[in-house]
Structure 1
Amino acid sequence: MKKVKEVNEARSPKGGKGSSSTKLIGKLIGSAIVLVVAIGLFLTFFVTKIDNGNVGVVYKISGGVQDEMLAQGWHIILPTERVIEYPVRTQTVSYDGLAVATVDGKALSMPVSLNYHVDPEKASAVYKKFGNVSIEDLQAGYIQSRSQDALRQVVSQYTVIETFGEKTGEIKNGTLERLAADLENIGIIIEDVIVNPPQPDEETQKAIDERVKATQNLERTKTDKEIAKQEAERKVIEAEGEKKANEIRSKSLTPEIIQEKLIEKWDGKQPITIGGDGVIVDFKQTEE
């Protein structure tokens, strides 16, 4: 037994090369793990990425919101800084119905859609005004209320019939102009506004139908009058032309031409009786 123990100790000597290599590999693996963890922590707490279509608003504990913003891409930040992303690409929001009233007192609910974006140069101003509010909350709150106010001011200048009819284009343009001027100063750019006519109730629909029918009758009357006028003018022109033609023919009928016409129509028989009193014209007679 003693000999076997001595042989085993000889095969695995203490402090040999095998033991040193194992310890070295272990240290390297441990160092690599520490390095990876350190890089991960650095990326987590000191590096931020701004996605495409966004800008980063920087908030410093010591200085508040900074005017300079971060563009898309990777950025190194300090532990005392916080970055809030704001989308600056075009956003579309729709409101099912904004409550308004016409100049003749008709209450309506009008669907409205907006295309807008946050001005990249003023994203920090938007954050300063509204704080850490998401773009969705901004749409459902401030933007909706300003849209309703702009539409209300415009619609109040038109009657209910005009709102459903020929003035819809003016209502859209007026709302776009007012809303754009209202929101541009705080950094929200309105690109387009779509104002859809509301769903009319039975009374309003009846008034619209009567208005359409009256307009059609008026247009038909105007068309009939125009046709009659053109026909009368045509007859006057034809009559004047006929009168002038008769005058020209009358002036051109000299005795010589009359005699020539009679000769052209003469069939060669003599004498030729012309008139009802038995007047005989002898074409052999020479002129005096």
Structure 2
Amino acid sequence: MKMKFCSISKKSINTMLLTMLLLSLVLFGAGCSQPAPAEAPAETPAETPAETPAESTLPSLEGQTLILSTTTSTQDSGLLDFILPDFETKTGAEVKVVAVGSGAAIQMGVDGEADVLLVHAKADEEKFVADGHGLQRFSVMYNDFVVVGPSADPAALKGASFANAGEALKQIMDKGASFVSRGDDSGTHKKENSLWKLADMTPSGDQYVSAGKGMGDVLQMADELQAYTLTDRATYLSMKDNLELEIVTEGLDGLLNPYGVIAVNPDKNAQINAEAAQAFIDWIVSDEAQKLIGEYGVEKFGAPLFFPDAE
């Protein structure tokens, strides 16, 4: 059997070879000129989330009222006006402040007429807790007491050397100068009484005026009478621009003035807001509130009027 071959012309062969050659060149060129893969973009660091303020751990007390029984010094010094808005903003509670002497403030707790106390009569505060009227005392802050008097200083206290502040008060009496007492069973009045006891004397006579008023009123009265008085430093400094009284005795033993906070025992009656009282304590001993306390007075007086002391 004879195989039959197709006849291919020379021209056709040449055309085929040329086509194959061109195709090879195209494929080879495409392989050589293939672009390198694009360089991977530099790794973009993950965005650092913006810091957000720590959420308050205080409970929401929206619509609730907290009755704060406190001493006049925290009110008259302006401290409460400075720090309480922070508590009210964070909790939504309204704080009703009753500013009286520490003795009267503590009595409000005994009578179940307050939710929390902020006072400065440590021995009485500890007794209040021991007698079951309060849950626990927490230290909050301190400042000190000073003796202020007229610039003429008729009792010659300025520059005098005393072993204790009781001796300074005794010299006022011995010199026949006038002294205005709080006379209201406040923490300041209790401190004054302890100093008379230290001096082993009981003041009396027309030169000794028992006002029965708060610290601000007593400072104004002493100013009008050109008399001496014992005051917490904070209230005096906050009012000094309107007074002609000067600090004549300071820095002596027995003049430290610590403040404590106590929740009233809720077993007294159903009206006591134990939740708000505990929230107030948690707030006032917190770093944020302690910072506020330490800042108060610095801008105006160059030093704080109270020193934070939470433990």
> What's the TM-score once normalised by structure 2's chain length?
0.17
Q: Which has the higher contact order (CA 8 A, sep 6+)?
A: 2
Larger radius of gyration: 1
> What's the TM-score once normalised by structure 1's chain length?
0.18
Structure (1 or 2) with the greater helix fraction = 1
